[in-house]
Structure 1
Amino acid sequence: MSRTALPRRRRLAPAGRALAPLCLSLMLAWPLAGHAGVALLQPPRVIDGNQPLTLTLIVSADDTTRRYRIPDTLEVTASGDLQAPVRLVLWREVPGPAVVNLRRGEHRAIHYTAALPPALRGQVRLDATGIDAAPVLVTLNRLPQPDKSATPAAPLAAAPAAAASQAKVAAGTAEAAPVPVTPVTTAGAAAPAPADLRDSARLSFHDPMYFIVGAHDGANAKFQLSFKYRIFEGEVPASKSLFDNLYFGYTQFSLWDWNKESKPFRDTNYRPSLFYYLSDTGVRNNAISRLSLATGLEHESNGRAGDDSRSINTVFVKPTFYFGDQNDWHWRVAPKLYAYVEKGENPDIAHYRGFMDLGIAYGRPDSWAFSATLRKGTRKWYGSVDAQLTYPMARLIPGTAGYLMAGYFVGYGESLLDYNRKLPWQFRIGYALSR
């Protein structure tokens, strides 16, 4: 059945109520949630970005579940191209009963609405938190509409009870995590939607991509390109088999010395890899909100000959632990443990680099984020600190993407050429596509 875009439904307008029968006919085209009978309706492909966003949930009764708890809010993660994800809280448009009882085969449509942040532009992906519904793609048109009033719609007035509920959520004392539609007869344990939605694409970012410049004692420009590609797309999206989750990764890193004549590249490192990767292993508890896992083979070299040649081959395992709400302020800890398979051109590299890169980050998807990679060699105090501070560009200049970035490096081995040499510290600022 094809999914045709519906005209935008106005709040409390008779035409909006007329959408319900059509919603019921379209709902079968969308996958139901983990709790059978819950679906998110696709809005029109192009919507007016100057007006509040309206989303519709459809609940239906089956043989086992006929009672549903309908909360006041629906939480959605909105992600634009190369923009930090934004958490939206949509409020129930028309007050209604907290629990609905449906006869078998009966359906009910519930509408939620919220104002769109001005930083969101172009195509936006909407993922509802807590229900296993397909993500929604819409394109925002922010041009003034000649046939519509120039006066923006007034925000919905929240009932006192709803305001109190929102205050509880803000204070972290809400009775339960926001689960959009939960069958009363089933214990809902829905997982939060990850704030980083890049892993859903077959070709996606890998390590951070950036270009930053400093001015301290040479090698003052630094940039990195990095991506990963899922080699085989399996029939089952949630498959954890090796072949279905095999990735090719490639990272290229360069130090550029702008102080010398002709501005040469001091060193360029090439890092292809082949690895197994699960964006979400499903491991969760009171502390861990998400656990990712990568393990495989990696080659790193600088492509030079003679005394300046550097090359290593490693096997690695990298779990990534997320602590806290990924749509809000949270921690990320990613220890990358590796063993050297071959290091003939630099046999003492472990003295300076050790056997682990410890990545630590704290931040929020649509705000500041601090991250650092720490290394400790096996000898003396050899090691390094590579730290970054980033902030979404769209919050500074609406319509842009990526991040404003500041970086600081001190220690040994900023590149392979200098793995056993401590260069002067560097502070750099610039732009990042990903962080």
Structure 2
Amino acid sequence: MAYLFRQVRIIKVCVALLGTLLLCATATAGISYRLQQTHAVPGETVNVRAVLFNDTDSVMSWTAPGNLVLQWRNESGQTIRSLAYLEGAPAAISIPVNNFIKLSWRAVVPTEAQGLQAVNIEGDATLLALDTSPRENSLIAGTPAAVPVIDAGAAGSGSLSDPPLPDNVVAATGASVEQGPAVNSTRQLASTSSSPAFDRFRNAISAYEPIYFDFGTKNGKNARYQISFKYRLFTPDDPENPEFLDHLYLGYTQTALWDLDSDSYPFVDTSFKPSLFWRKDALWQSPSKNWFVGLASGIQHESNGKSDEDSRSVNYGYIQPELNYRFDGGSTLTFAPRIKGYFGGGDHNPDYRDYAGNVDWQLRYAQDNGLVLTGLYRHGSSGHNMTQIEAAWPLKRTFLNMNGYLHVQYFEGYGETLLGYNQRSDGQVRVGIALVP
């Protein structure tokens, strides 16, 4: 009981400390564009580069559009519209607090684009330029694009006019067929979809715990995999200033150990972990925004779905303060101890706390588009402990040039499966692929 009271006191101290850090900071999110080239002739390809940044206090989800509509204007205000194409397939993007993502679209300079050109992404107020600087408050910036969208480059180098795109192709991008808006309008960070219901679902779901599939050979061929996601229960009316309930999530994680050496390839054990929790990535940020403190708190159930003597289940409530430091070089160090209090334990594992302890000590170092290192340590009573160390490297930065991460996991100690929570596993290294490190 004395140990439990000490844990309660720790939780109270953490809550009190974090309560003093509830300071408001200006939070913004947005996207900025630039042209990679400063000069290009008609028929050549240019690249529109974008930086999507998240300076809010929560992880931001966004889906990059497959096409952008470009507006080209010369000094007399003559307007041309064409399409730019995303490099890579459109996919949901998750941007952590104080992070950014780089994107790129390619476009062909239209045949009729002659002389100095001011270019903008339709609906965005930023002017880009080829061989000139943007001119503010001019016909270029204020004239609607009352022309069709053309298929730039389709006519070939010998033609003086590019054919217009079919109306359905233009409409599929979310643009007007007859006329585009003037430059001086705003662009929302939202993707178009033919299904509003699917859009709401896609914008509410995001990654939670790591997602991976790893393979090992110690004590026979085996695999360990995990899938995980969270679902935001409320959509903020103002994404840059979410209310308290806007940080409420449903979570689900599933972890399994798979025996690949037996004849029928059985699963040794599978853990099902639904949860309900509140999470805010930045309750407080330093003026320079290199330090920020977050908080997660909720309840989680874990069971293995088996019956009789093999049945296992655990329930606990937790509070998880998260201390983050953002390095100037583009990486983040996070210390996030999860302090747990158990309730309603299963009849077949009443001594689970003796093996798993009351605190998950978690440390993470993540480079932007680079190395990700994570460590997890649990310490129970009578020398029962567990160590898990993981490393991930983006496969885009290897000769494979593919999505995902090369993933390496080391595990040693108690609790590799819920069924064998009281059995010690010798150290084992597994290698595989992670979708989310």
Q: TM-score, normalised by structure 2?
A: 0.57
CA–CA distance in 2 between the matches of 1:139 and 1:54?
Answer: 5
Residue in structure 2 matched with residue 210 of structure 1 by the alignment: 212
**Aligned AA for 2:335?**
V
Residue in structure 1 matched with residue 372 of structure 2 by the alignment: 369
CA contact (8 A) 2:386 2:412 kept: yes
Once the 2 structures are TM-superposed, how far is the Cα of residue 139 of structure 1 from its aligned partner?
5.8
Residue in structure 1 matched with residue 234 of structure 2 by the alignment: 232
Residue in structure 1 matched with residue 317 of structure 2 by the alignment: 315
Over the aligned positions, Cα root-mean-square deviation in angstroms equals 4.2
CA–CA distance in 2 between the matches of 1:39 and 1:224?
Answer: 32
Residue in structure 1 matched with residue 105 of structure 2 by the alignment: 140
Residues 296-319 of structure 1 deviation map (CA, whole Å, 9 limit, x = unaligned): 111000011111111011101112
Residue in structure 1 matched with residue 88 of structure 2 by the alignment: 121
The one of 222, 243, 246 equivalent to 2:224 is: 222
CA contact (8 A) 1:267 1:417 kept: yes
SS in 2 for 1:282: strand
Equivalent residue runs for 1:283-294 within 5 Å: 283-284=285-286, 289-294=291-296
CA contact (8 A) 2:248 2:277 kept: yes
Residues 39, 218 of structure 1: alpha-carbon distance in 2 compared, 3 angstrom cutoff: closer
Equivalent residue runs for 1:2-21 within 5 Å: none
CA contact (8 A) 2:414 2:425 kept: yes
Report the identity percentage. Answer: 29
Residues 416, 327 of structure 1: alpha-carbon distance in 2 compared, 3 angstrom cutoff: farther
CA contact (8 A) 1:385 1:410 kept: yes
Unaligned runs of 5+ in 2: 1-25, 55-60, 62-85, 114-201
Count the aligned residue pairs. 287
**Aligned AA for 1:380?**
S
CA–CA distance in 1 between the matches of 2:284 and 2:339?
Answer: 21
The one of 266, 269, 275 equivalent to 2:268 is: 266
CA contact (8 A) 2:292 2:324 kept: yes
Residues 252-287 of structure 1 deviation map (CA, whole Å, 9 limit, x = unaligned): 000001122211000000000011111322333679
CA–CA distance in 1 between the matches of 2:383 and 2:53?
Answer: 43
CA contact (8 A) 2:31 2:53 kept: no
Once the 2 structures are TM-superposed, how far is the Cα of residue 292 of structure 1 from its aligned partner?
2.4
Unaligned runs of 5+ in 1: 1-33, 56-74, 83-118, 149-199
Residues 237-258 of structure 1 deviation map (CA, whole Å, 9 limit, x = unaligned): 2445442221000000000011
Residues 201, 423 of structure 1: alpha-carbon distance in 2 compared, 3 angstrom cutoff: same
Residues 337-364 of structure 1 deviation map (CA, whole Å, 9 limit, x = unaligned): 1100121331111111001111112231
SS in 1 for 2:254: strand
SS in 2 for 1:279: strand
Residues 286, 414 of structure 1: alpha-carbon distance in 2 compared, 3 angstrom cutoff: farther
Residues 71-90 of structure 1 deviation map (CA, whole Å, 9 limit, x = unaligned): xxxx8659xxx9xxxxxxxx
CA–CA distance in 2 between the matches of 1:266 and 1:130?
Answer: 40
Residues 54, 279 of structure 1: alpha-carbon distance in 2 compared, 3 angstrom cutoff: same
Residues 287, 232 of structure 1: alpha-carbon distance in 2 compared, 3 angstrom cutoff: closer
Greater radius of gyration (CA): 2
Residue in structure 1 matched with residue 422 of structure 2 by the alignment: 420
